[in-house]
């Protein structure tokens, strides 16, 4: 069963925002990915600017990852008469190609793309990419993401990764405190098994802050037309643009808000009740949060319950519905760490190469 955009957008309460007159109009969402198929019906006249930061010869999206995420954030749904439009169909898209046609990107490309998005005055930056190597979150991309998130009003929305269900599996650059890290849920708001869990290793920052639909999402497919206009993918890569689109809707409704106005992500504030203090009733005390659960559970005492934002409820990286989940390709090429999207491999590819491991390229 597929969670098409006409199903996943209601899951984050986007139709209620549209009915109130908020569809992201007047905002700009920067999508840093594999570029897009700008001729796809859902993206025609939706792209305001593009820039290639890779060594690829052109800006065509031969992977299809960027086209899928961009249409989820702000596609028009024109290929299905508007039924499969993105969360913020009124927003304009700024497309930065920071991942090659093989699905990887160097640190310098990603950092340059983030700086470009900020210089373009993007209202939101969506990044469905990452490096699963666990560390202390002090790599160049993490440091640059934290610096830009703290110094600029632009919120960065970053995929949590697809290395769940174990705890402490979120990594760079979603590990920094000042970004919104996004996990994935299915149609029943149940956390997807592949969705990476927090807290961050070494620093113990609580992650992810939010989750959104990321299982079997059907959105625009690069090169697809007619009955092939859409393709189905799963992962936190698919969840991230749902949150980025919702952030654009919030920005339209509250143009003076900044990322700092939402509270600094990654910190827990105790809930204090007014009046006389009472001794806790152990029989009624809320269930303690288990490691790796969404932060929404901390506030509600119920597992899997999602946080609420003004734009609606917000519940990875990606995998094909019929494929086998594999971790990101992390290569060392001439001394440079390479970040990549979360790639899935179909049954035939898995039969040839098995489960992809670290140090291999995405085929």
pLDDT digits (tens, 9 = 90+) for 52-106: 999 998 888 999 999 999 999 999 999 999 999 999 999 999 999 999 988 899 9
Q: Which of 293, 341, 337, 303 shows the shortest CA–CA distance to 162?
A: 341
Q: What local confidence, expressed as pLDDT, does residue 224 receive?
A: 94
Spatial contact of 316 and 183, defined as CB atoms under 8 Å apart: yes
Is the pLDDT at 294 greater than 50? The verdict is no
HEC sequence for the chain = CCEEHHHHHHHCCHHHHHHCCCCCCCCEEEEEECCCCCCCCCCCCCEEEEEECCCCCCCCCCCCHHHHHHHHHHCCCHHHCCCCCCCCCCCEEEEEECCCCCCEEEHHHHHHHHHHHHHCCCCEEEECCEECCCCCCCCHHHHHHHHHHHHCCCCEEEECCCCCCCCCCCCECCCCCCCEEEEEECCCCCECCCCCCCCCCCCCCCCCCEEEECCCEEEECCCCCHHHCEEEEECHHHHHHHHHHHHHHHHHHCCCCCHHHHCCCCCCCCCCCCCCCCCCCCCCCCCCCCCCCCCHHHHHCCCCCCEEECCEEECCCCEECCCEECCCCCCEECCEEEEECCCEECHHHHHHHCCCCCCCCCC
Q: Which of 147, 146, 144, 173 shows the shortest CA–CA distance to 158?
A: 173
C-alpha to C-alpha distance for 178 and 264, rounded to whole angstroms: 6
Count of CB atoms situated within 10 Å of the CB of 322? 9
Q: Which of 116, 146, 142 shows the shortest CA–CA distance to 53?
A: 116
- 135 pLDDT band (50/70/90 cuts)? confident
Q: What local confidence, expressed as pLDDT, does residue 331 receive?
A: 31
Spatial contact of 359 and 340, defined as CB atoms under 8 Å apart: no
Averaged confidence pLDDT in the chain: 78
Is the pLDDT at 319 greater than 70? The verdict is no
Name 189's Cβ contacts closer than 8 Å, sequence gap at least 6.
Answer: 11, 304, 305, 306, 313, 315
- Tokens linked to 171: 């990594």
Q: What local confidence, expressed as pLDDT, does residue 67 receive?
A: 97
Is the pLDDT at 266 greater than 80? The verdict is no
**Between 330 and 191, residue with greater pLDDT:** 191
**Between 328 and 200, residue with greater pLDDT:** 200
Is the pLDDT at 270 greater than 80? The verdict is no
Strands 336-340 and 104-106: antiparallel
Q: Which of 276, 220, 216 shows the shortest CA–CA distance to 76?
A: 220
Is the pLDDT at 121 greater than 50? The verdict is yes
- Tokens linked to 119: 């210089």
Peptide bond into 208 cis (omega under 30): yes
- 262 pLDDT band (50/70/90 cuts)? low
Q: Which of 339, 332, 359 shows the shortest CA–CA distance to 54?
A: 339
Average pLDDT, integer, range 192-207: 93
Q: What local confidence, expressed as pLDDT, does residue 44 receive?
A: 96
Average pLDDT, integer, range 299-323: 37
Average pLDDT, integer, range 281-308: 41
Q: What are phi and psi of 220, to 5 degrees?
A: -55, 135
**Between 323 and 79, residue with greater pLDDT:** 79
Q: What local confidence, expressed as pLDDT, does residue 4 receive?
A: 62
Is the pLDDT at 345 greater than 60? The verdict is no
**Between 336 and 113, residue with greater pLDDT:** 113
Is the pLDDT at 181 greater than 50? The verdict is yes
Average pLDDT, integer, range 41-54: 96
C-alpha to C-alpha distance for 256 and 261, rounded to whole angstroms: 9
Q: What local confidence, expressed as pLDDT, does residue 11 receive?
A: 94
- Tokens linked to 150: 């703290």
Is the pLDDT at 150 greater than 50? The verdict is yes
- For 257-263, the CB contacts below 8 A with 24+ separation are 258/153, 258/155, 259/149, 259/152, 259/153, 259/154, 259/155, 259/156, 259/178, 260/153, 262/155
**Between 171 and 218, residue with greater pLDDT:** 218
C-alpha to C-alpha distance for 319 and 224, rounded to whole angstroms: 18
Q: What local confidence, expressed as pLDDT, does residue 80 receive?
A: 93
Is the pLDDT at 338 greater than 70? The verdict is no
Instruction: Give the active site residues.
Output: 33, 65, 237
Q: What local confidence, expressed as pLDDT, does residue 330 receive?
A: 30
pTM for the full predicted model: 0.75
Is the pLDDT at 132 greater than 90? The verdict is no
Tell me what percent of the residues of the chain surpass a pLDDT of 90: 61
Q: What local confidence, expressed as pLDDT, does residue 341 receive?
A: 59
Q: Name the CA radius of gyration of the chain, rounded.
A: 19
């Amino acid at each position: 069963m597929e969670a098409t955009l006409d199903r996943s957008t209601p899951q984050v309460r986007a139709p209620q925002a549209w009915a109130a007159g908020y569809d992201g109009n007047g905002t700009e969402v920067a999508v840093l990915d594999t570029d897009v198929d700008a001729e796809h019906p859902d993206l025609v006249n939706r792209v305001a600017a593009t820039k290639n930061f890779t060594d690829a010869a052109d800006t065509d999206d031969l992977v299809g990852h960027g086209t899928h995420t961009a249409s989820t954030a702000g596609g028009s749904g024109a290929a299905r008469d508007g039924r499969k439009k993105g969360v913020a169909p009124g927003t304009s898209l700024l497309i930065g190609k920071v991942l090659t046609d093989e699905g990887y990107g160097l640190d310098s490309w990603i950092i340059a793309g983030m700086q470009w998005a900020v210089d373009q005055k993007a209202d939101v930056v969506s990044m469905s990419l990452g490096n699963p190597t666990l560390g202390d979150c002090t790599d160049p991309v993490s440091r640059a993401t934290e610096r830009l998130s703290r110094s600029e009003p632009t919120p960065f929305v970053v995929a949590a990764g697809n290395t769940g269900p174990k705890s402490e599996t979120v990594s760079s650059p979603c590990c920094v405190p000042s970004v919104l890290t996004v996990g994935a849920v299915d149609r029943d708001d149940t956390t997807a098994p592949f969705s990476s869990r927090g807290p961050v290793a070494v620093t113990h920052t609580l992650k992810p802050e939010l989750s959104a639909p990321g299982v079997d999402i059907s959105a625009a497919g690069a090169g697809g037309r007619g009955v092939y206009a859409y393709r189905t993918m799963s992962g936190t890569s698919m969840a991230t643009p749902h949150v980025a689109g919702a952030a654009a809707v919030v920005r339209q409704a509250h143009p003076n808000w900044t990322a700092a106005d939402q509270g600094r992500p990654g910190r827990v504030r105790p809930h204090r009740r007014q009046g006389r203090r009472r001794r806790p009733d152990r029989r009624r005390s809320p269930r303690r949060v288990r490691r790796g659960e969404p932060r929404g559970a901390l506030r509600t005492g119920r597992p899997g319950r999602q946080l609420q934002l003004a734009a609606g409820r917000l519940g990875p990286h990606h995998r094909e519905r019929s494929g086998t989940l594999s971790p990101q390709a992390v290569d060392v090429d001439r001394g440079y760490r390479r970040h990549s999207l979360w790639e899935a491999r179909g049954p035939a590819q898995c039969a040839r190469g098995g489960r992809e491991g670290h140090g291999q390229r995405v085929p």
